[in-house]
């Protein structure tokens, strides 16, 4: 965890003899947007590595594509052979075993409290490594180098981490701002198209609730960015990433630990999606589940009178043109409805479903009583009868 110049705490002794310790911590999380960061002439990553040892955590696909370049970079810049740990971790196995494997490797590599873990990979990799960094010796420094679009604009620049537990998505995790995130869109050049679509779902989430300018860019260039893996048009590619990162950090800055409010714009697309992922046995990827959630939430917004027909259609059309599913036969309305109980428990007794009211603004459906299963049924029937895109899988 990045803690620099933490202000001193305060001890308050009450007349009754109890003590209250108020300790504040300064969190400094640097997010650097750079390109070609594994080129030794780019010292952004090297400059962040302290003199202490480093454990690089990555996954098999990144190791296959980039291991030589990572090793060469570290030797050429910090002149040090760092340990590289490859964990074969996917959503289905995003569990405590992998966290413990990283902690074991950190022990064997002799990591100390001022050492760091550098995670180079998708959201699964950065989440698992960040949880290990938060636990190891009660928290060591973490640098996230995201390599997927979801990573670049969300998981890799966010402050929380989680693993799945007891068949529940993201049940164990911590809020642990990393020391730094390094955002380099050139990693997207090797990313399978399916995962570019997934990242576009997260970007679209932010566009719909907060950034009409981003929505416009996605409408105009999203399908081309998808086809070219963010190579062309480069100006739009850079803008999508910059605006998405900025809007995520703006929301996080207001409530870093999700304590002051259970009404969070960033929860758009994340009410039904945990159920969608779990019910499909994680065959539906996170971004695809977010897309399905966006489609359902937008349709419900329309039924409740918050969102016009025209704007709902723009959202559904854009999802489809970005190669995203709008629904899946792997889920059903009764399952979706039942899953809302867990959401309500997580959101302190309120449903707080985020629904769009226009492009760039949203509102909240606070109580479950404001919805009915028949509304969900109607949304599903209408969405699945649409001819566009991948539609239903
Ligand atoms: N902590 C957060 O705030 C946060 C936010 C959003 C999502 N998440 C989590 O992130 C996860 C989804 O992340 P994801 O979409 O990055 O999926 P992922 O990590 O599973 O990566 C997708 C696939 O792409 C491969 N890959 C990654 N980068 C590549 C590259 N540059 N070239 C080729 N292949 C590459 C991976 O090995 C994997 O097979 C979910 O578990 C979700 O819960 C966390
Ligand atoms: Zn998400």
In Å, what is the CA distance from 377 to each residue of 167, 383, 385? 26, 10, 12
Distance from the alpha carbon of residue 152 to the mean position of ligand 1, in angstroms: 10
Q: What is the 3-state secondary structure (H, E, C) of the chain?
A: CCECCCCCCEEEECCCCCEEEECCCCECCEEEEECCCCCCCCCHHHHHCCCCCEEEEECHHHHHHHHHHHHHHHHHHCCCCCEEEECCCCHHHCCHHHHHHHHHHHHHCCCCCCCEEEEEECHHHHHHHHHHHHHHHHCCEEEEEECCHHHHHHHCCCCEEEEEECCEEEEEEEECCCCEEEEEHHHHHHCCHHHHHHHHHHHHHHHHHHCHHHHHHHHHHHHHHHHCCCCCCHHHHHHHHHHHHHHHHHHHHHCCCCCCCCCCHHHCCCCCHHHHHHHCCCCCCHHHHHHHHHHHHHHHHHHCCCCCHHHHHHHHHHHHHCCCCCECCCCCHHHHHHHHHHHHHHCCCCCCEEEEEECCEEEEECCHHHCCHHHHHHHHHHHHCCCCCCCEC
What radius of gyration do the chain's Cα atoms show? 21
User: Atom of ligand 1 at shortest distance to CA of 130?
Assistant: 1
- Cβ neighbors of 216 (< 8 A, separation 6 or more) are none
Q: What is the DSSP letter of 315?
A: H
Atom 41 of ligand 1, nearest CA residue: 124
pTM score: 0.93
Distance from the alpha carbon of residue 49 to the mean position of ligand 2, in angstroms: 28
> Is cis: bond before 233, omega within 30 of 0?
yes
User: Atom of ligand 1 at shortest distance to CA of 61?
Assistant: 37
How far apart CA 287 and CA 232 sit, in angstroms, is 22
Distance from the alpha carbon of residue 324 to the mean position of ligand 1, in angstroms: 16
> Could you read off the pLDDT of 295-349 as tens digits, one per residue?
999 999 999 999 999 999 999 999 999 999 999 999 999 999 999 999 999 898 9
pLDDT for res 1: 46
> Could you read off the pLDDT of 146-200 as tens digits, one per residue?
999 999 999 999 999 999 999 888 999 999 999 999 999 999 999 999 999 999 9
Which tokens belong to 305? 């009178």
Which tokens belong to 155? 């998981």
Distance from the alpha carbon of residue 376 to the mean position of ligand 1, in angstroms: 29
Q: What is the mean pLDDT of the chain?
A: 93
User: Atom of ligand 1 at shortest distance to CA of 188?
Assistant: 31
Distance from the alpha carbon of residue 57 to the mean position of ligand 1, in angstroms: 14
**Ligand 1 binding pocket includes 121 (Cβ within 6 Å):** yes
Look at 68-82, 109-123, 315-329 and tell me which has the smallest mean pLDDT.
68-82
**Ligand 1 binding pocket includes 161 (Cβ within 6 Å):** yes
Which one of 35, 70, 124, 204 would you pick to mutate in the ligand 1 pocket, going by the greatest count of ligand atoms within 8 A of its CB?
124
**Ligand 1 binding pocket includes 177 (Cβ within 6 Å):** no
How far apart CA 283 and CA 17 sit, in angstroms, is 56
> Could you read off the pLDDT of 43-59 as tens digits, one per residue?
999 999 977 889 999 99
- Cβ neighbors of 311 (< 8 A, separation 6 or more) are 356, 358, 359
> Could you read off the pLDDT of 257-266 as tens digits, one per residue?
777 677 899 9
pLDDT for res 121: 98
């Amino acid at each position: 965890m990045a803690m620099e110049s933490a202000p001193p705490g305060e001890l308050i002794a009450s007349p009754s003899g109890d003590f209250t310790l108020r300790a504040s911590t300064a969190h400094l999380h640097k997010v650097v947007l750079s390109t070609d960061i594994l080129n030794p002439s780019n010292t952004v990553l090297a400059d962040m590595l302290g003199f202490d040892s480093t454990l690089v955590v990555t996954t098999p696909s990144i190791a296959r594509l980039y291991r030589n370049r990572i090793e060469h970079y570290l030797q050429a810049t910090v002149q040090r052979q760092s340990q590289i740990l490859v964990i074969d971790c996917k959503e289905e196995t995003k569990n405590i075993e992998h966290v413990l494997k990283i902690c074991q490797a950190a022990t064997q590599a002799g990591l100390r409290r001022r050492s760091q873990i550098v995670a180079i990979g998708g959201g699964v990799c950065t989440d698992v490594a960040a949880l290990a960094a938060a636990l190891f010796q009660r928290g060591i420094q973490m640098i996230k180098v995201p390599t997927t679009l979801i990573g670049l604009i969300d998981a890799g620049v966010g402050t929380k981490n989680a693993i799945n537990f007891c068949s529940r998505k993201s049940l164990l995790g911590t809020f642990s701002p990393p020391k730094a995130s390094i955002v380099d869109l050139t990693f997207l050049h090797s990313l399978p198209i399916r995962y570019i679509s997934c990242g576009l779902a997260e970007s679209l989430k932010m566009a719909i609730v907060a950034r009409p300018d981003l929505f416009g860019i996605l409408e105009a260039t999203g399908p081309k960015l998808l086809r070219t893996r963010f190579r062309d048009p480069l100006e739009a590619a850079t803008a999508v990433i910059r605006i998405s990162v900025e809007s995520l950090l703006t929301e996080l800055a207001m409530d870093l630990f999700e304590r002051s409010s259970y009404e969070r714009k960033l929860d758009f697309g994340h009410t039904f999606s945990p159920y969608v992922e779990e019910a499909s046995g994680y065959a539906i990827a996170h971004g695809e589940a977010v897309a399905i959630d966006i489609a359902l939430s937008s349709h419900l917004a329309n039924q409740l009178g918050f969102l016009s027909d025209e704007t709902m259609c723009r959202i559904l059309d854009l999802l489809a043109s970005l190669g995203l599913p709008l629904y899946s036969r792997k889920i059903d309305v009764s399952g979706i409805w039942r899953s809302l109980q867990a959401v309500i428990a997580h959101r302190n007794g309120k449903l707080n479903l985020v629904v769009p009211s226009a492009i760039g603004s949203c509102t909240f459906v606070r109580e479950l009583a404001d919805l009915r299963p028949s509304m969900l049924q109607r949304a599903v029937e209408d969405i699945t009868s649409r001819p566009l895109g991948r539609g239903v899988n």
